[in-house]
Chains A and B, each alone.
Chain A
Amino acid sequence: MVRFDRVTVRYDGKAIIEDVSFEIALRDKVVFYGKSGSGKTTILTTILGAHIPVEGTVYFDGEALNAINILRVRRSVSYIGQEPVLGAEKILDAILLPFTFKVNRDKAPKEDRIVELLERLHLSRDILNKDASVVSGGEKQRVAIVRELLQNKEIFLVDELTSALDRESKGAVLDLFRDSSYTLVSVSHDPEWYGICNRFLQVDGGRLVRSSDHPDKTYL
């Protein structure tokens, strides 16, 4: 599904990721781990065309990423950042934001479906009328997850998704992504998150240094 072939990304002349190669298949549950600032998030966002590699090629479904297919890639993949941007004043408007764009306009979800997903992630219906500025970081993360789930995508790129969640909410999120139908490409420092992943790619200084079915024990 996603393949990096010797990819290097630079910013202001400095390599953020260097000579990175890996392949992720559909329904894999992958986590990139390693020290802060090692380039994990850049790997994730490069899949979505947020950076153009100076060397190497990113492939999606066997096709090299280019100006034409990038829109299709973005429309088939969900991305949830560490501090998700809700992009609207009210939570309900934030949840419906993707459906204001032409590509999703005829797919707007029914309220019942929104509430069902909110409840699954331990959020009450009342949150829909709240101001985005008053909800906590953990609630924001869960609202962002609901918004992505409503788009019926099956590939999730997530960055430190459990960082602001309490124990109970984290359990609900872990249960959700444990679902085998989802492909998960994640960045995390959380050993509990590692429990739902089956591939572990260690990043250090912008380079991929280890690929295994378990994380390096110093990160547990």
Chain B
Amino acid sequence: METMDIKLLSMLIVYGLLAIPVALSFFFRLGNLKEIVIAVLRMTGQLAVMGFYLDFMFRLQNAWINFGWVLLMIAIANFSVNKNAGLKTRHFFAVLFAGLTIGSFSVLAVFVFLAVRPVPFYNARYLIPISGMIIGNCMRANVISLERFYSSIRKNEKEFMTYLLMGATLREATLPYLREAIKPALAPTIATMATLGLVSLPGMMTGQILGGSSPLVAIKYQIAVMIAIFSGIIVSCVINIFFSMRIAFNEYQVLKRELFRGK
């Protein structure tokens, strides 16, 4: 079954729906009219570019371009992780790029190459959207885990030093902060998995059903994607904490505060 296209006129009618939030914003003087307009324009522009680009990639089916695109997504995600976790990008970019790549590719390899097995294996129709979901979720989780990890060490520096001075290795001394950091990074995904299908139909599944897939196929994809995302998150968070520790501490295992934004 083909997905029914939305005609240009119909799209305009959908945009017409925006009159409601705009009117309400105006009526209640919410003061966010400009933000609404900018957000809608950005969404339209970004997705239009993405639509044309994906269409081009799907037709081209070039392994280099497809994998290059995945690496570019990882690089962009990495900038966001560095910035939002309070790390200075020029010091941490390389190690976190390695961590995000290993975390994403390890689960991507199982999901795409062993479970779905598209032909060719670098088929952009599968590789790009699935990578996007995994990388996007890893990015959000890594922001939380890295920010929590280093901010709790900075906040509890005396406690951390006490562990070291009692003879703990760096790994032993940082273990309480690693636990504190990983748990909140995983919590949203665990909560999503636990309520999936009860509270809402996930976007990917909805998209597949609208695209003509059988709901039974759609749920298999959704389960596989959730497991891949969850595994990717934990792998990338743990790897990135361990990789970044090599940069963040000096040879005496003391935190280098100068490598953090707003130290």
Contact = CB atoms under 8 A, between A and B. Distances in A.
Same assembly: yes
Given A74-B164, A83-B158, A102-B169, 17 more contacts: A45-B161, A48-B165, A49-B253, A50-B161, A50-B254, A67-B252, A70-B252, A71-B167, A81-B158, A84-B162, A87-B163, A98-B166, A98-B167, A101-B168, A102-B172, A104-B166, A151-B166
A25 interface: no
B250 A52 contact: yes
B158 A50 contact: no
Nearest to B176: A87
A52 B256 CA distance: 11
Contacts of B253: 49, 70
Nearest to B159: A85
B252 A101 contact: no
A36 interface: no
Interface string A165-178: 00000000000000
Nearest to A72: B167
Interface in A67-88: 67, 70-71, 74-75, 77, 79, 81, 83-85, 87
20 contacts: A49-B253, A49-B254, A50-B161, A52-B250, A52-B254, A65-B252, A66-B251, A67-B251, A71-B167, A75-B167, A77-B165, A81-B162, A84-B162, A85-B159, A97-B163, A101-B166, A101-B172, A103-B167, A104-B166, A151-B167
B159 A50 contact: no
Interface of B: 158-159, 161-169, 172, 250-254
Interface string A39-70: 00000010011111000000000000111001
Nearest to A67: B251
Contacts of A84: 162
Contact of A87 (B159, B167, B250, B251): B159
A83 B161 CA distance: 13
Contacts of A83: 158
A85 B158 contact: yes
B257 to A, nearest CB: 9
Contacts of A104: 166-167
A75 B252 CA distance: 13
